[in-house]
Structure 1
Amino acid sequence: MGESRSDLLAWVNELLQINYTKIEQCGTGAAYCQILDSIYLDIPMARVKMNAKHEYEFIANFKVVQNMFKAKRIDKPIPVEKLVKCKMQDNLEFLQWMKRFWDTNYPGHPYDPVARRRGQSTEAPATLAPLAPRTTASSGSGGARSGGKTPIGGPRAGSASAVNHEHVLGLQAQLKEMSAHLEGLEKERDFYFAKLRDIEILVQQQTEKLAEEEQEDKTLSEIQKILYSTEDGFEVPEGGVAPGDEEETF
C-alpha cells in the first residue's frame, strides 16, 4: 500500500515549500519536475511553469519530466494524457510512485526549492478541481431541482456568475498568450524568408553571369531546385510567377 493522500501532500509541501491542498494540483506537472530536481539538481527549472493554469502549460511541464526520465534512463511510463486532466486517482498513483523513487534515489544533500525555482509563484489554479455538475429545473416541477436542495429564494445566480467571469478571464489570458506566441512565430517566419530571398537573388545573379559566359555550376542548379521545389498538392497562387520568369523590382 502507498502513502495516504494527506501523507503525500505533507511530504511534497515540505520538500518543495509549496502549499498544495489537493493531490489533483500535481497534474500541472510542476511538482513532479521539482521532485526530480531535488534528486538530480539539473532540471532546467527556468522551463518549468510553477503556476501553470492551462493544459498546454501542463503538457510542457511534463515534457521536462519525460526528458529527464529519458536522460536518466528511468523505465517508467508517464500517462501524461491522464495526469494533465488533474484527476485525483491518476495523480495519486503517480505521486506514490514518485515518493518511492525519491526515497530510493535521494542522496541526502541540502535542497533549497525556492532558490532552485528562482522565486517563481507556486499558486495553483483555483479551477483545477472539476466543478460540480449543474442541475437544471425539471419541466412542470415549479422550479424544483433534482435533489430537493434549491434555496427558498431560488438558485444563487451570483455563484454561477462568478464562475463564468473567472472562466472568461482565463480565456482572455490564454488568448493574449497565444496571440503573443503567434506574433513571435510570424517574426521568425519573416526572418528566415528574408534570408532565403537573399540566397535566391545571389544564386540567380551568379547563374545569369555564368550563362553569359556559357558556363554552368551544378551546385547552383541544385540550390535553385531546392528553393523552387514544392510539396505535393501545392499550387502557385493566382497571379504568381513561375520560377525562372521572375521580374525583380528594386
Structure 2
Amino acid sequence: MATNIGMMDAAYFVGRSEILAWINHTLQLNLSKVEEACTGAVHCQLMDAAHPGTVPMHKVNFDAKTEYDMIQNYKVLQDVFNKLKITKHIEVNKLVKGRPLDNLEFMQWMKRYCDSVSGGGHQNYNPQERREACKGGKDMTKKSAQSQPTRGTTSAPKPHTTRRADAPSVKNSKPSSTIDTSEYDQQITELKLTMDSLEKERDFYFAKLRDVELLCQLPAVSNLPVIDVIKKILYAAEEDASIMAEAQAMILNREKHEVGSGQTVEEDQSKPDSQKRKAIVSAEVDAAANTALSPRLRVSDASDVHSNGSPLMTY
C-alpha cells in the first residue's frame, strides 16, 4: 500500500485529463479542473470510496467557499489518515489557495493510493447516495447532473437561429471557436503550472542566498577577506559581468601578499646560527669597551654630546 511515494514515481506523471476522468467517473461528478477539488470534500469522498464507512460524511462540506470551511474538510481528511495510519503530509495552506500544481500533485498521490487499495475499481459504491449526507452534497449532485446533458446537447440552441435568415453560417462557425478556446485554456493552465514551478525554485534559491548573507554578518567571520569577496558577489548587480574577475583578482592579490610576508619571515628564520652568534658577540664587545673607558674619556664624550645640543644632556 502506497502512502509515501517518491517524486519520480510514475504516479506524478499522470496527466490532468486522466485525473479528472478518474474523479468524475468514481464520484459521478463533472469537474472541469483539478483545482476545483481544493475544498477537500472530493478528497474525503475518494477516501470514503477506497475505505467505505471510515469517513464521517456528515462532517464533509461540499459547499465550502471560505478557507475556514475548507480547513474543516481537511481536518476530517487528516483524522481519516490518522485512523488508517497514513503518514502522508497534507499541505493545507497550499491546497486551499487553489493553485493548479499543488492540487494536481496531491490528487496524483490520491489516485495512486486509491488504486493500490481498490485495484482501480470501486464496486458497490454509490457516490451520490453517500454524498447526500454531506452539507451541499445534493446541490453538488444536481449541478453535475445538469451539466452532463448540456455537454451532449450543445446543438440544442439551433431553433433560436431560425429567427435570422443569415444566421446559420455564423452558428456553424461557433464550434471551431470553442475548440480554439479550449486549446488556449490548456496552454494557460500549462503556463500556470510552469510559473508555479519557477516560483518554488526561486524561493528555494533565495532562501539559500539569505542563509549565506546571515552567515557573512556573523562577527566571528565578518572581517575575513574571503567574506568581503562573497559579499561583493552577493550584492553585485545583474548587469555587472566583471564582478567574478574582480573577486578572483582580490583573492590572488591576498595570496601574493601572504606568500611575500611568509618568505621574509622564512628568510629571517633561515639565517645561519653563526651570523646570529656574531651579532651577539659584537654587542657584548661594544658593551665591554664602554665600561673600560676612562672617566676622562667618558666626560669628553658627554661634553661632545652636550656641545652638539642633544636634549639628552641637561645641566
What TM-score, normalized by structure 1, do the two folds share?
0.47
What TM-score, normalized by structure 2, do the two folds share?
0.38
